[in-house]
Each structure stands twice: as structure tokens, then as C-alpha cells.
Amino acid sequence: MLKPILCAIAVLASGVPAQAQDVLPNLADIVEVKLIKGWPLANGDHVGAVTITLATGWKTYWRVAGETGLPPVFDWQGSGNLAAVEYHWPRPDIIETDGLQILGFSGQLTLPITFRPENAAKPLALVASLDLGVCREVCIPVHADLELDPDRQEGAQRLLIDMALADQPRTGADAGLTDAMCQLVKTDDGYHLSARFDLPMLEGRHEIVVFETATPDIWITPSKSHRDGPSLFVETDLLDYANKAASAQPTGIRATIIGQKIAVDVANCLMKS
């Protein structure tokens, strides 16, 4: 079942002229969200996916939105016999809009997910609460409540899920990465991060590097990068949400180097003191 976040729609409408409020888009005409069945794995896990289908001209966001946007947020607490989930994000597009670069998808996003049951001998009952943003001339927050019983529903959508799995970022080794080094320097507001990736240039006009960290409550500013031959140099800042110095050095630095054809995942950028 799909429904809007009414309080957010009210905020959006308050800034729109009265004569235009009657023509605000109908969510059912813009976006359809489904939880679809995949297949069981030998270890007892299940593969499935969430699909987000968008009307022409509308976009939604990757797990990191870029310079602006609302990345999807999942809540699986209503599920039964579910121990953990693992998301397999496909490579996002680099989208330029109003002078900003965002990372997202148009047309359709298929997000494969591996579901790990608490007890592999018992059935899974998947229940998700999903908040996401969709944008064209305006951006609209959307809420979707999703349910799936993978043991009872027929018709695994394997081709759709396999295509999304094949579009995941490549590993560094597969992409020709020979070295990666990250360095954190303490600042008054948090940390400054500089990195070097020895990697052949990705196809296309742009390379965007997105950093993520396992440390909660850290905001990472959009990175700036330049190349010197086969080496890609990147700079960014890590701040906590309260805009004060981070209490502990961030851990688990992950980098994704995104091009227009492929992306490269550096799961753990080796820290340099």
C-alpha cells in the first residue's frame, strides 16, 4: 500500500501559489513501490527486491543522495523471523539539476535485498516501512508500507533482480584498483579526509567519489577530486550533526567511485596516520 506523508505534502503546498495547489501531482500517477519475490539460497537466506517505478521525468535517490535529496530509509521492525537484511545497491546515475549533482535513478529502481531469517526452518514474513523522495520540478516525500510472504507468493522475478545485481559497483580488484589510501586530520568541526586511489579513469565525463562511515551522526560534505595520471585525489570534510568536533575518529571509511558507465566499491579505505 502506498500513501503520502501528509504533513510533508502540506509543507510543500504552503509554498505553492493557491491557483497551482489544485494541480499538485497525484502520487499514484508518479510512483509505484513493490516488494517482490526472489529465491531461497542454500544457507537459508532469501533474495528479494524492492522496485520503485517512476513516471516520465521523475527521479528517486541512491543510498547517498549527492548534493541534495532524500535517500530511502527502511524500517523492517514489523517483520517476522527476520534477523538481518543486506542491500545490493546498483550503480546510480549522475544527474545534474539546477547546478547540483545528485545520485539517483529514473524510470525504475530495482534494489535487491538478501533477507537472513532468525530460523531458516521457519517462514519469513516481510513487512517494511519505506520513506523516500521523488523529484521533478518539485520534490515530494513518499511513504510506502510493504508486505511479502516469500514462502507463499508464486512467481519469483529472477530476471529483474539478476539485472540489478549485475549493475552493482565492481570491486577494486575487478576495476584495476592497485592502491587506496585515506587520511584523517582533526579539525575544529570534525575531520578533514584526503584520499588517493590508483585506478584507471572511469569511462565518461565525470567521476564522483562518495564516502560513507560506520560511525553514526557524521555528515560528509560533497567531495572534490582531481586526477594526476592514474591517481585520483579526493578531499572532503566529516562533521557531526550538531556541528561540533566529533568525539571519536570515524571508523569503517567506505568509498564508492561512480562513473557514467560503472562504479567501483572500496569497502575499507586503508587509514593512514
Q: Say if residue 127 is in the same domain as residue 221.
A: no
Q: Which residue has the cell 530476471?
A: 159
pLDDT at 129: 96
Q: Say if residue 177 is in the same domain as residue 142.
A: no
The CATH number of the domain holding residue 22 is 2.60.40.1250
Q: Say if residue 125 is in the same domain as residue 6.
A: yes
Q: Say if residue 80 is in the same domain as residue 135.
A: yes
Range of the domain at 20: 2-166
**How far apart (Å, rounded) are the C-alpha atoms in residues 189 and 223?**
16
What is the count of structural domains for the chain? 2
Do 105 and 60 meet the contact criterion of CB atoms below 8 Å apart? Answer: yes
Q: Say if residue 156 is in the same domain as residue 182.
A: no
Last residue of a domain, one of 166, 187, 216: 166
The CATH number of the domain holding residue 258 is 2.60.40
**How far apart (Å, rounded) are the C-alpha atoms in residues 269 and 181?**
6
Q: Say if residue 55 is in the same domain as residue 188.
A: no
Q: Say if residue 144 is in the same domain as residue 268.
A: no
> Is the four-CA dihedral 111, 117, 118, 124 of positive or negative sign?
positive
Q: Say if residue 179 is in the same domain as residue 160.
A: no
Grid cell digits, residue 207: 567521476
Do 183 and 193 meet the contact criterion of CB atoms below 8 Å apart? Answer: yes
Last residue of a domain, one of 166, 195, 210: 166
Helices first, then strands: H and E counts in the chain:
5, 21
Do 64 and 133 meet the contact criterion of CB atoms below 8 Å apart? Answer: no
Q: What angle do CA 105, 150, 158 make, to 5 degrees?
A: 50
**How far apart (Å, rounded) are the C-alpha atoms in residues 230 and 178?**
10
Q: Say if residue 82 is in the same domain as residue 46.
A: yes
Grid cell digits, residue 118: 532468525
Q: How many CB atoms lie within 10 A of CB 54?
A: 20
- pLDDT tens digits, the chain, 273 residues: what are they? 444 333 333 333 334 444 444 455 688 889 999 999 999 999 999 999 999 999 999 999 999 998 888 899 999 999 999 999 999 999 999 988 777 888 999 999 999 999 999 999 999 999 999 999 999 888 899 999 999 998 777 777 899 999 999 999 999 999 999 999 999 998 888 899 999 999 999 987 678 999 998 887 788 999 999 999 899 999 999 987 665 544 567 778 899 999 989 999 998 887 665
Question: Which one, of 111, 104, 107, 152, lies nearest residue 128 by Cα?
Answer: 111
Q: Say if residue 149 is in the same domain as residue 196.
A: no
Phi-psi region of 43 (alpha: psi -120 to 50; beta: other; left: phi over 0): alpha
Q: Say if residue 160 is in the same domain as residue 205.
A: no
**How far apart (Å, rounded) are the C-alpha atoms in residues 76 and 79?**
6
Grid cell digits, residue 174: 575487478
Q: Say if residue 56 is in the same domain as residue 182.
A: no
Cβ-based neighbours of 38, under 8 Å, separated by 6 or more: 46, 47, 48, 49, 112, 150, 156, 157, 158, 161
Last residue of a domain, one of 166, 194, 223: 166
